[in-house]
Amino acid sequence: MKIGAMVPGKPYKGVDVSLDQFCRWCAEDGFQAIDIRSISDDIVRTANDAGLTIASSWLPGLAGILSSSLERQQMGAKEARAAIEDAAKYGIPALFCELAGTIENPSLGRAKNLELLMKSFPQLVEFAHSGGVALCVEGYPGPDPHRPALAGTTELLRAFFDACPNLGFIYDPSHSVRIGADYIRVLNEFKPHLRHVHAKDTAIDSEALYLYGTTGPTFHSPRPMGVEWWRYCIPGEGTVNWANVVRNLEISGFDGVISVELEDDRYYGDWEAQALGFHRARMHLARYVK
């Protein structure tokens, strides 16, 4: 296994570090791979010049595919296919499908939006698979309180993999902790589809849970990256037992990349804070990843 880092996005945009600087810093700190957000000659060259493997990129076009407009659906599918072809061209093994923020109309509910997606998604999965690329979903529930994401529970993941046997799975234990699911059981159930791992943790605040329940606070805004009683954090500062996670990954035969996804309000605001978060996360994972 390798330890990687996801190129930061929101709320990290605007931080004064270029992709080249980020990649070179990652390599110097001991990271071996990165996850990128789009594919281009320059991005691939920048990562490779720093000695980093590209573990995954995001799949564009999903907002169109999830639209009620036939024209937007067709445009979205075309954009997605182009990205799949680019991934195959550059040997990028996985494309990450973001299935929350791309939803045009969350009020339709998960079942109806999943029905929209499945009009063309299985064909995209097979198109990617034929080119040696895995389209991947993760168990992200989406933002509270409605949690509209289309793969955020075991029920939904089972529906996806039943409909798309060649679909890949990105494992992120932080999401399971957040919704109260057994994160090791999730890993073991879906390990036949496992292609990539996001290294992120969730901290649970029992005092906040006592004060607010799962409703959240009334008289102030919750901390970023959470809703007061839970918040995302770096590996080693939350609930997840990473020794147990890595052991189960080894047992499953996984030999891919575990990428640090930095969504921790303690480690953003400037590059120095981000660098510290990435470094601490990698150091914690390096205790178990051999």
The string of pLDDT tens digits covering residues 72-118 is: 999 999 999 999 999 999 999 999 998 998 898 888 899 999 999 99
What is the longest distance spanned by two Cα atoms in the chain?
Answer: 53
Task: Give yes or no for a contact between 98 and 52, defined as CB atoms under 8 angstroms apart.
Answer: no
* pLDDT value for 10: 56
Encoding tokens for residue 72? 């937007």
Question: Mean per-residue pLDDT for 202-207?
Answer: 96
Of the chain, the end-to-end C-alpha distance in Å amounts to 7
Task: Give yes or no for a contact between 158 and 186, defined as CB atoms under 8 angstroms apart.
Answer: no
Percent of the chain residues past pLDDT 70, beyond the cut: 98
Angle, vertex CA 282, rays to CA 13 and CA 173, nearest 5: 80
Which tens digits make up the pLDDT trace of 207-242? 999 999 988 899 998 888 999 999 999 999 999 999
Q: What's the count of helices (H) and strands (E) in the chain, helices before strands?
A: 12, 10
Question: Mean per-residue pLDDT for 249-272?
Answer: 94
Block residue for tokens 């698979």: 129
* pLDDT value for 269: 78
CA-to-CA distance for 160 and 117, rounded, in angstroms? 10
Res. 14: pLDDT tops 60: no
Question: Mean per-residue pLDDT for 175-185?
Answer: 97
Mean pLDDT in the chain? 94
Least confident of 131-140, 163-172, 217-226: 217-226
Question: Mean per-residue pLDDT for 145-161?
Answer: 93
The region, left, alpha or beta by phi > 0 then psi within -120 to 50, assigned to residue 57 is: beta
Task: Give yes or no for a contact between 141 and 152, defined as CB atoms under 8 angstroms apart.
Answer: yes
